[in-house]
Amino acid sequence: MNKAFRKIHLWLSVPVGLIITIICLTGAALVFERDITESLAPHLYKVPYTQGDTILPPSQIAARIRSQVPDSLRLLSLQLPGEKGAACMARFEGKGKRSLSVNPYTGEINGWTKPIPFFQTMRKLHRWLMDAPAYKGAKSAGKTIVGITTLLMVVILVSGVVIWVPRTRKALRSRLTISCRKGWRRFWYDSHVSLGIYATLFLLVMALTGLTWSFSWYRTAAYGLFGISTSHTPPPARHSGENEKKKEQPRFTYKAWDNVVAELRTHYPTYKSILLTRENAQIYLSGNGPDYDIATFDKQTGAVEEITLYSDLPKSKKMKSWFYAFHTGSWGGTTTQILYFLSALIGAILPISGYYLWLRKKRPSVRKR
């Protein structure tokens, strides 16, 4: 049985090892993307703050933004910080994920956030091997190769654990340590075996969650394990009376945001940020996880109509964000991000050390270093 798993481990690793290295190495590079991006442009994320400064009402921030940007830009949302000295982020229609940084105490514009080309390249390599799909949800050769490689990586990791299981306590101790005094071959063997077992759990979590973006059938199955259906049911047909009622609804005014924020601050003395949109307000209580409460409000008066706690949201609303959090390591803050970073680096090294050991075994006549 062990011999069969060794063959599976080897002959699946040989053809896809380099691709696994690319996927893991680029994944490691992306773990701290947000932190690095913010550190390279601190003026976009931090603003001067003195004791006693208060954040302007959202309607005033919106008015000052509109006085400084072209009329063609339509403001969609404001993200008000809960931390002192943090910038406010505004998003506009047609600008994608780019945000406008604004000083929430003065309404002064700091500039547009910009993606760093290095991380854009890393993401394209990580997800599609530079062969991006034509549109969201479409297939591409690169996306398919990454998906198949990740599936094989799961089998490789599981077979590696089966091979690793020691039969004696002495063997267990040997397989959990790395020897640096018995030559290069022993060093690479110990690194492959020991580091691999330390990183396996994290690598499996990354692979199993990442597959939800590669294959629709896998996503359907994964969501189904939690009792969630991914099929979209068409909305019920509207009657003419309902359409008339919809037309009669009051138009949104930015002034409504002022009352929303004032009321939410009585419910939430502390928060990470409040994202204000035309439809609702999302209250983020921490920066680590994807959890946030949702408040709906009257579009004209801003009176809060209902607050839905994150714990009360349906699973379908939570699942994608949790898959993302467990794939990237953001769910536990800096600690889990460091563990994910190290595990991804180990994942990138494992195929290299495996190739070295395989080639040395095939060429025993090569002089040992």
The residue behind tokens 């270093």 is 369
Query: Would you say residue 334 lies in a domain?
Result: yes
Query: Would you say residue 168 lies in a domain?
Result: yes
Residues β-bridged to residue 90: 78, 100
Above pLDDT 70, what percent of the chain? 92
pLDDT confidence band for 369 (50 / 70 / 90): very low
Query: Would you say residue 88 lies in a domain?
Result: no
pLDDT in tens, 163-214: 999 988 888 888 898 888 888 888 999 999 999 999 999 999 999 999 999 9
Query: Would you say residue 349 lies in a domain?
Result: yes
Query: Would you say residue 256 lies in a domain?
Result: no
> Dihedral sign, CA of 173, 176, 178, 183?
positive
Query: Would you say residue 232 lies in a domain?
Result: no
Q: What is the 3-state secondary structure (H, E, C) of the chain?
A: CHHHHHHHHHHHHHHHHHHHHHHHHHHHHHHCHHHHHHHHCHHHHECCCCCCCCCCCHHHHHHHHHCCCCCCCCEEEEEEECCCCECEEEEECCCCCCCEEECCCCCCEEEECCCCHHHHHHHHHHHHCCCCCCCCCCCCHHHHHHHHHHHHHHHHHHHHHHHHCCCCHHHHHHCCCCCCCCCHHHHHHHHHHHHHHHHHHHHHHHHHHHHHHCCHHHHHHHHHCCCCCCCCCCCCCCCHHHHHHHHCCCCCCCHHHHHHHHHHHHHCCCCCEEEEECCEEEEECCCCCCCEEEEEECCCCCCEEEEECHHHCCHHHHHHHHHHHHHHCHHHCHHHHHHHHHHHHHHHHHHHHHHHHHHHHHCCCCCCC
Query: Would you say residue 7 lies in a domain?
Result: yes
Segment 359-368 shows an average pLDDT of 67
Query: Would you say residue 73 lies in a domain?
Result: no
Count of the separate structural domains present in the chain = 1
Point out the least confidently predicted range of 50-54, 99-103, 127-131, 197-201. Answer: 50-54
pLDDT confidence band for 249 (50 / 70 / 90): low
Tokens of 37: 């991006």
Structural domain span for residue 21: 2-34+117-227+329-362
pLDDT in tens, 9-57: 999 999 999 999 999 999 999 999 999 999 999 999 999 999 999 999 9
